[in-house]
Amino acid sequence: MSSTRSRPPGLEPGPVAQADLDAVADQLGRAPRGVLAVAYRCPSGHPAVVQTAPRLPDGTPFPTLYYLTCARLASRIGTLEAEGRMREMEERLAVDDELAGAYRRAHETYLAERDAIEPLATHPAVTAGGMPDRVKCLHVHVAHALAAGSGVNPFGDEALDEIGEWWRSGPPCL
């Protein structure tokens, strides 16, 4: 992004430090691709969400603007997914107009943030995580909620509320 004014809350200005890229590589078990910024840090200080370029260095479109890297948080979200939360959320989306409106606004925010970096020639009616009509990946919604701040992505906020203080159990987050 060209100016700090257009940055969502939590996005760190400037190039990503090599130490952060190394930490993300350790978290993912592979070298990260297309990282533009650290978008959220765990209370331990480690990156937990990174902002990824809309296109990877090889030109491949990568619509997941906010990518969750914290393994502990990803595991907790995976448990919610395995318990069927996405299906429950999607069922509520179909009958709750207020929730559907909030979810559509999250989708529009996500598209605007991504397109401010580089518009993708993808179908504009769908963003990451199934927005605006489906709930496909809670990891994306939690990453979006952490990067953009509370109140932006209703399903990301809901999952975070359910998970609680994920960083408090076990050894320090990596």
Residue 7: pLDDT above 50? Answer: no
Domain edges within the chain: 4-160
Q: What is the pLDDT of residue 76?
A: 93
| Residue 119 confidence (pLDDT) | 81
Distances (CA, A) of 96 to 1, 10, 93, 103: 35, 30, 5, 11
Of the pLDDT bands very low, low, confident and very high (cuts 50, 70, 90), residue 174 is: low
Asked if 128 and 110 touch (Cβ cutoff 8 Å), the reply is: yes
pLDDT of amino acid 6: 37
Determine the average pLDDT of the residues in 1-18. Answer: 60
Average pLDDT of the chain? 86
Q: Would you call 136 exposed, middle or buried from its count of C-beta atoms within 10 A (0-12, 13-18, 19+)?
A: middle
95-151 pLDDT per residue, tens: 999 999 999 999 999 988 888 888 876 655 667 788 888 898 999 999 999 999 889
In this prediction the pTM is: 0.88
> Do 141 and 129 meet the contact criterion of CB atoms below 8 Å apart?
yes
State residue 145's pLDDT score: 95
